[in-house]
Structures are given as structure tokens and as C-alpha cells.
Amino acid sequence: MNAKRRSIWEWFPVTFLTALFCCVLWGSAPAAIKVAYRLFQIGPEDTASRIVLAGCRFTITGVMTILIGSALERRILIPKRSSWSRIGILGLIQTSGQYFFFFMAMAHLSGVRGSIINACGNFITILFAVYIFRFEKMTLRKMAGCLIGLCGVILIVGAGQSLLSGGAVTLSGEGAMVMADVFIAIGACLTKLFSREEDPVTLCGYQFAAGGLVLLVTGLIMGGRLVFYSSSCLAVLLYLSFVSTGAYTLWSILLKYNPVSRVSVLGFFNPVLGVLISAAVLGEAGEAFSVTTAVSLLLVSAGVVIVNLPNRSRA
């Protein structure tokens, strides 16, 4: 009997390069959002227009995800009737809640600081999964990884050069990003719970669209607007929409064909690439290559690797 033919997605070079591409997309999001603010001429205090931008992004993201998922599955992705309430809950938490605070934070933070603090969501998710949702048990390794990673976040927000250079901690900046991380953690745990009854791509595509529409309508009611001053405005909006669609779809494929630990451990590239892309695109090289940032990034990345390492007994 012939051995079962392995999928190309199981070949480690393909897994590694695809995961790296996903991390490039996710890592570019903070810089792309700040570029969008500049192109659309949205000031730090223009909350309504910021919400409209987030709403447009995720409404388009949801449509993209549903279309691409339908093409991959060779069928139209339609949720079960019982899943609509779950889609509504996820849309409010994982998209509306998370990105209300994320977009607020990126109006007040540098791309470098935003990228590192955003990685805090990895460690908050572990704590929620262990102590609230009871999906898994806390181990010494996970606890050590969380503490190491959180030390890196604390370092970047309140110590060393980041503090001396005038980067004081604010509720609308660092505080908003931490709140976004809390919503990331709740959303990730709910997605794991709800995916037992519904295809995760279907669930994600529709919750993106639902949450995006909530943000869009809310922003418009508040008086926000988007003015397309040039074709670059449309380009950056479509790119931001593709970031979530492309990265999520490819990451889901990798998880389908590979052990979760093999894929998840590569997530340490997210903050690293976020810092490098912000340095290149936003001109934040001075902050990106400071000693404080380097040590903070090392601690956060190490924490992500440690919490995602497989247990020896399972390996």
C-alpha cells in the first residue's frame, strides 16, 4: 500500500515561508494604518473618521474572506442558522471592540511601540484560556513565557529611552492598545469555542463583515467621513483589508496541515517585522534600533516562542 501523499503545505520550507509572509502582513498593519491616517488626513482627535476607516476596512475584509474561502472550498460559505448569534458576538468583540481600540492606539503611538505592545495579546490569551475559559492548564513553561514577554512590554512602555525621549504612557495610546489586546484574547478564546460548531473561515469572514458594519455605521452617525484625496487612499484601504484576509486564510491552511505548535511558534516574527517595517516606512529607525527596543523585542519574541513550544510528552 502506498503511503499517503503529503501536502505541499506540510513541507517545512513552504510552512516557514508562508508563515513569514503572514507575519509580514500582520506586522505591516500598524505602519499601514498610520500611512492611511496621513493619506485620508485623519487627525489624532478625529475619532469618528477613524472609526469609519476601521469599519470600511473590515467590511471589505469580511467580503474578501468569504469570497476567497468560498473559492477554496468550492462552495458558497453560508453560516448555519444557529451560528448567527455567535457571529454577532464575535463581530462585536473581535472586530468592533478590538479595532476601535487598536485604531485609537495607532493614532497616538509610534508604529514601533504599537507593534511590541500589540504582541501582549499572545500572553493575555494564554491567561484567559487557562483561568477563564479553562481550555488548558497553566504550566511552568507557559507562565515563564508570559512573564518574560510581559517584561518586554513593560520595558517599552515605561522604562529606558522610551520614557526619557518623551514617550509618556497614555490611556489613548498604550492603554488603548492593551484594551485591544484584551479583546484579542477574548475573541481568540470565543473563536476556539464557536469553531467546534462552525467552519472557522466562515465564522471569521462573517464576523469581520458584521463587526465592520457596526464600526462603519457608528462612525457615520458620529459624523465621521472618508475623503479619497488620491488613488493612494484606495490602495492603502484595499491593502489593509487584504492584510487580515490574506494572513488569516493562509494561517488557517497552515494550521490545517501542520501541528499547531509548529505554526504558532513562528508568530514571534510578528513584533519583529512590525518594528522593522515601521522603521522603514515611517522613519522610526531611531526608536526601532535603540537598546531599549532591542531588549524589549527580544523579551517579547522569546516569550512568544516559549509559550508556543510543544510539550515534550506530546512531541
Q: What is the pLDDT of residues 19-30, one digit of tens each?
A: 899 999 999 999
Read off the pLDDT of residues 299-314 as tens digits, 9 standing for 90 and up.
998 988 888 776 654 4
- In the DSSP assignment, the letter for residue 311 is P
Report the range out of 30-34, 111-115, 289-293, 294-298 with the highest average pLDDT. Answer: 30-34
Q: Residue 282: helix, strand or coil by DSSP?
A: helix
Residues 29, 98 contacting (CB under 8 angstroms): no
- The CA R_g of the chain, rounded to the nearest whole Å, is 19
Model confidence at 162, pLDDT cuts 50, 70, 90, reads very low
pLDDT in tens, 256-281: 777 766 777 788 888 899 999 999 99
| Domain locations along the chain | 8-308
pLDDT at 249 over 80: yes
b/e string for 156-193 if b means 16 or more Cβ within 10 A?
bbeebebeeeebeeeebbbbbbbbbbbbbbbbbbbbee
The helix (H) or strand (E) run that includes residue 155 is: helix 140-158
Here the cell at position 195 is: 469553531
C-alpha 225/C-alpha 237 separation (Å) is: 14
pLDDT of residue 261: 64
Average per-residue pLDDT for the chain: 87
Q: Is the dihedral of CA 250, 256, 262, 264 positive or negative?
A: positive
